Amino acid sequence: MSTGIIILIVVILVLLAVGAVAASKLSRRKAELNDYGPEYDRLAKEVGPRKANAEFAKRRQRVESLQIKPLSAERRTAYTSQWEAAQEQFVDEPTQAVNAAGSLVTAVAVDRGYEAGDADQFLTDLSVHHGRHLDGYRHARQMTEQADRASTEDQRQALLDYRGIFFDLLEPGGDGRVPAPRPEPDEARGDRPQVEAQGDRPWKQLTQGRHWKTQRQDSDTIAEPRR
């Protein structure tokens, strides 16, 4: 094989490697923007994409310093049970149920490593990995503060908004890191498909049932309070 062909092969391999790295960065960037949700879009419109990128880079650096950790399966199950109790309480005591839901969101966040002492900083930190749910969370907090003037429908919407960020925080991948996918079974090699045991993730069963649906379906999920 001539020297020229060898050089050509090396150049092609280098270009392929560079392309793979660029594709990986682009994929990671898209995932980050998806986590930021409307938070990034709003800031980009106000100050421009370049400053918005710098701001979110600073936010990411701070959140990384907090060393956010996933919860154990036992903790997730316990929090899910508390959420179910709060949601059922809405029928008789909507205001208390919404207050309990807000407290649960804070409790889960703190348990994972977020700092809730400064309300504004808390929201800023949440924007890094939970920005998609932040508008709803703000709305829910506002309704909680105005509970004496909020209608039943306002309180029900607040509960739904709290639920969105609650389960996003509860999930193992809710720290912005995407869990590694399981390898596909190779039947030719004798592998068997991996089936998740029913009791492994009880909080997941709950979210996939009547307690975790799209917001359009949710209008029928939370019962109206008793008169």
The pLDDT tens digits of the residues spanning 32-90 come to 444 567 788 888 888 898 998 999 999 999 999 999 999 999 999 999 999 999 999 99
CB 139 within 8 A of CB 157: yes
Cβ-based neighbour number of residue 121 at 10 Å: 13
When computed from its CA atoms, the radius of gyration of the chain, rounded to whole angstroms, is 22
For CA atoms 27, 175, 162, 90, the dihedral sign is: positive
Question: CA-to-CA distance for 120 and 158, rounded, in angstroms?
Answer: 19
The pLDDT value given to residue 196: 40
CB 107 within 8 A of CB 15: no
* Mean pLDDT computed over 13-36: 56
Question: CA-to-CA distance for 145 and 150, rounded, in angstroms?
Answer: 9
Cβ-based neighbour number of residue 138 at 10 Å: 12
Cα-based distances in Å from 45 to 14, 49, 181, 211: 38, 7, 35, 35
3-class DSSP assignment, residue 93:
coil
Question: CA-to-CA distance for 54 and 145, rounded, in angstroms?
Answer: 33
The pLDDT value given to residue 42: 83
- Lowest mean pLDDT, pick from 46-60, 100-114, 185-199: 185-199
The pLDDT value given to residue 24: 47
pLDDT band at 18 (very low <50, low <70, confident <90, very high): low
- Position 93, amino acid: E
Identify the CA nearest to 68 among candidates 121, 112, 108. 112
